[in-house]
Amino acid sequence: MNRVPAVRVEPFSIEVDETVLADLRERLARTRLPGPAPGEPWGHGTDLAYLSDLLAYWRDGFDWRAQERALNAFPQFVADVDDVRVHFVHVRGGGIPLILSHGWPSAFVEFLPLIPLLTPVFDVVIPSLPGYGFSSRPPRTLTTRDTAALWHKLMRGLGYERYGAHGGDWGAAVTTYMALDDPAPMIGIHFATLDNAPDAPPETAAERAYLAAVQEWDARERGYSFQQSTKPQTLAYGLTDSPAGLAAWILEKWRSWADSGGDLDARFGRDFLLTLLTVYWATGTIGLSIRDYLDNYAAGTATLDEFVAVPTGIANFHSNLVSEGKLPREWAERLYDVRRFTDMPRGGHFAAAEEPELLAADLTAFFSDLVAVDQPLA
């Protein structure tokens, strides 16, 4: 493989200005909430009682500085890759290079619990997607296919000639296009969520059940996606101006998409959830992040009509969005060269934060087998 110039990497430390935190507390103190919705809690969206209690803790109890110190315990960097200032965590460990790509409404913090579990085997790179948190997003269309090219440049610039990739949600699309457009350096790819659908109609009973479940979920839950893929700027005004609105919009997804049993706090803990929200709030990037929907749906990159020949592993978390009609292996095999397909006993859409041990074990087994058999790193 031809050598490429190293990217210019600079150490990075998260340091949110105190004026930003003071403004956040003032906005939280002035929150104007609607009345309660009729029916069951969460039935019409984010529950009023839960949100009121969470906002009070965000204002008076949450210690961002403690969370900031915990985040800064991980080695973080920024690098200029084309016209994007890419923020990333980079921990050198066991030697198999692995880049992890998050989705929406998530951030790099979702993957941090994996680091101590992966570094005995992997060098771990966790970038923030363009426009999420501490990564910039240029004023042009930027799709997951474009991000895949950025990630290749980042990994090669860091000195890696062979590497693997893992992703979920939009990160799964980025990982897919890394393998589809530039397969030569790819050891393998791995997914915790798989949203792509084959063009051909379903052939098996399991595929038909899965497709029906997806269609039912879309009819009930897909409203956010229609808004974000058509008029994201209109939505961005309220979410950027109101921390209560931001929390309601994001946490409703974390509750319903995770294997949470309806209890966000028990599943993730409030400090984790508020760390995620504060990353979005302090950087003012919620409007940039939701542009992924407009850019990708307009460009057609949200669907896949080509076969991906790079060896593929899938951790099939059964509470990932669709609760009935589980993703069948044969569905994935129409699109990917599936070498490993693991049905997980629990876990949902945010698997790295929900079940890091299960996900890390699957990643380790999949990539270790590939490297041991026939795929040297250089």
- Spatial separation of the C-alpha atoms in residues 184 and 363, rounded to whole Å: 20
Catalytic residue, candidates 293, 295, 336, 362: 293
Residue type at position 358 = L
Mean pLDDT calculated for residue range 93-121: 97
CB-based contact 194:332 (threshold 8 Å):
yes
- The pLDDT value recorded for residue 3 is 55
CA distance 120 to 360: 11
Decide if 165 contacts 308 (C-beta within 8 A). Answer: no
Confidence of residue 28 (pLDDT cuts 50, 70, 90): very high
Half-sphere exposure of 279 (CA within 13 A, CB side): 26
Higher pLDDT, 121 or 3: 121
Of 24-28, 94-98, 197-201, 285-289, least confident by mean pLDDT is: 197-201
Mean pLDDT of 28-47: 96
The verdict on residue 377 lying in a domain is no
Check residue 209 and give its pLDDT.
87
What CATH code is carried by the domain that includes residue 282? 3.40.50.1820
What pLDDT, on the 0 to 100 scale, is given for residue 266? 96
Give residue 49's domain range: 9-372
How many Å apart are CA 204 and CA 223, to the nearest integer?
29
Q: Confirm whether 2 is domain-assigned.
A: no
The pLDDT of residue 57? 98
Domains held by the chain: number: 1
14 three-state secondary structure = coil
Report whether pLDDT(116) > 90.
Answer: yes
pLDDT of residue 214: 86
- pLDDT value at residue 232: 97
DSSP-derived secondary structure letter, 334: T
The rounded mean pLDDT for the chain is: 93
Q: At what angle do helices 270-283 and 243-257 cross, to 10 degrees?
A: 130
**169 is annotated as an active-site residue:** yes
- Tell me, yes or no, whether 349 lies in a domain: yes
Question: Given a cut of 90, is residue 367 above it in pLDDT?
Answer: yes
Task: Give the active site residue among 47, 123, 146, 169.
Answer: 169
What is the DSSP code string of 137-169? Answer: --SS---HHHHHHHHHHHHHHTT-SSEEEEE-T
**Residue 336 in contact with residue 327, Cβ under 8 Å?**
no
* Annotated catalytic residue 318: no
Tokens at 143, concatenated: 């799709």
- Which H or E run includes 190? strand 186-191
Q: Which token pair is 363?
A: 């990643």
**Three-state SS at 319:** strand
- Over residues 278-283, mean pLDDT: 98
The mean pLDDT of 118-146, rounded to a whole number, is 97
164 and 97 in contact (C-beta within 8 Å)?
Answer: yes
Residue 4 lies in a domain: no
Query: What's the one-letter identity of residue 333?
Result: E
Phi and psi, residue 146, nearest 5°:
-65, -40
**How distant, in Å, are the alpha carbons of 265, 320, 323 from that of 255?**
9, 11, 13
Is 76 contained in some domain? Answer: yes
Residue 280 a catalytic site member: no
CA atoms of 262 and 252, how far apart (whole Å): 10
- Angle at alpha carbon of residue 201, lines to 189 and 222, rounded to 5°: 70
First-to-last alpha carbon distance for the chain, in angstroms, is 9
Element spanning 12, H or E:
strand 9-12
1: pLDDT confidence band, cut at 50, 70 and 90?
Answer: very low
- Provide the CB-side half-sphere exposure for 94 (13 A, CA): 14
For residue 3, is it within any domain? no
Residue 378 has pLDDT above 90, yes or no: no
Q: pLDDT class for 282, splitting at 50, 70, 90?
A: very high
> Which tokens sit at 183?
């397969």
Residues in the chain: 378
| Alpha helix ranges (H) inside the chain | 18-29, 48-60, 64-72, 115-118, 144-157, 170-181, 205-221, 223-228, 232-241, 243-257, 264-268, 270-283, 286-289, 291-299, 329-333, 351-354, 356-373
| pLDDT tens for each residue of 301-344 | 878 888 999 999 999 997 766 655 578 999 899 999 999 999 99
**What pLDDT, in 10s, does the model give residues 138-185?**
999 999 999 999 999 999 999 999 999 999 999 999 999 999 999 999
pLDDT at 87 over 80: yes
Q: Is 300 left (phi over 0), alpha (psi -120 to 50) or beta?
A: left
Q: Among residues 269, 284, 290, 367, which one has the least CA distance to residue 129?
A: 290
Q: Is the pLDDT of residue 195 over 90?
A: no
pLDDT at 110 over 60: yes
**Residue 214 counted as domain residue:** yes
Residue 333 lies in a domain: yes
Predicted confidence at residue 68, as pLDDT, reads: 98
More confident residue, 370 or 304: 370
Say what the pLDDT of residue 99 is.
Answer: 98
What are 210-264's pLDDT values in tens digits?
888 888 888 888 999 999 999 999 999 999 999 999 999 999 999 999 999 999 9
